[in-house]
Structure 1
């Protein structure tokens, strides 16, 4: 499901930027950041994630699909909630600043509307045009350290082809050791 992939990619981006003041004064929300601008903000973060094996736990906090058949929200909650995935973050990926991941997220006709980092806190918004579903927005807030991040995401749009829907999720990334 594209929505899950988008959520995982976005929360991975948040881990990649986990904290660090970029040294510039807070200029408020930015609009339509390019992949290069996003990568620059991520690259310049004072705190970088440590390379290693990470586990991400996804928790569904809310599913709202007005007009959906009985049980549709429970089905989506079951599909998306309680998922645990592992991934390896290499030193090269840390050094790269996740530029490729930022660019890949925009290959699907997505733009970063804002991405602000202050210390270990971040706040962002991304808008995507998803074939067959229309415009989707994802807001992300969270905190991060070099070995852990917690990302709260709200996705809004026509996710199930049933009109405006909202899904709120929480992703917790935690370093669990060295890559195997």
Structure 2
């Protein structure tokens, strides 16, 4: 679903992003017309003055920080916290680092999502996207955080209609850290 994919996408986004468009003397920012930013523009903004992650083995942790879904009982909220709390390890190869920008610009958007903001400045990122649900709803997602050569950390907030329960929001924190070299096959 949107939530799991966006958590992974945001992790890749932060691991791959880094700098402002220093040659132009201005940071990357929102679309001039307030609409969607093309994948090509996101790719250019990500490449400008980037801080690339080092290849290696990374540990990623996701934590549900806050959830506000109308009518949801406290037990459901706690169950969500348990289900969304994740820790996993993944290997980032040299090829992943090189191809990460194109993948980062296209995968998070999918067919139903588009960036509306994508600012990068040094190792900091501030991004926003809107995802539409095939059933007619939409979800607004904001991501803020930092990414460097060996770690990244960000907060992601999703707000919109949660399956007919009404308008709600969810905030998640994700951190990734390089913990060594990739194991040999």
TM-score scaled by length of structure 1: 0.89
> Which of the residues 133, 156, 159 maps onto 1:156?
159
1:33 aligned counterpart, secondary structure: coil
> Which of the residues 26, 38, 42 maps onto 2:42?
38
1:131 aligned partner: 134
Unaligned runs of 5+ in 2: none
For residues 23-172 of structure 1, the aligned pairs below 5 Å read: 23=22, 24=24, 25-26=26-27, 28-30=29-31, 31=34, 32-81=36-85, 83-132=86-135, 134-172=137-175
Between 1:161-170 and 1:125-134, the stretch displaced more is 125-134
d(CA) in 1 for partners of 2:139, 2:2: 11
1:40-80 deviation line (CA, Å, top 9, x unaligned): 21122331111111111111110111122452222212211
Whether 1:11 and 2:15 are equivalent positions in the alignment is no
Unaligned runs of 5+ in 1: none
d(CA) in 1 for partners of 2:66, 2:40: 33
**Which stretches of structure 1, 4 residues or more, deviate above 3 A after TM superposition?**
none
Please tell me the root mean square deviation across aligned C-alpha atoms, in Å: 1.9
Query: How far apart are residue 27 of structure 1 and its match?
Result: 6.2
Asked if 1 retains the 8 angstrom alpha-carbon contact of 2:16 and 2:51, the reply is no
2:129 aligned counterpart, secondary structure: strand
d(CA) in 2 for partners of 1:27, 1:121: 11
d(CA) in 2 for partners of 1:146, 1:78: 30
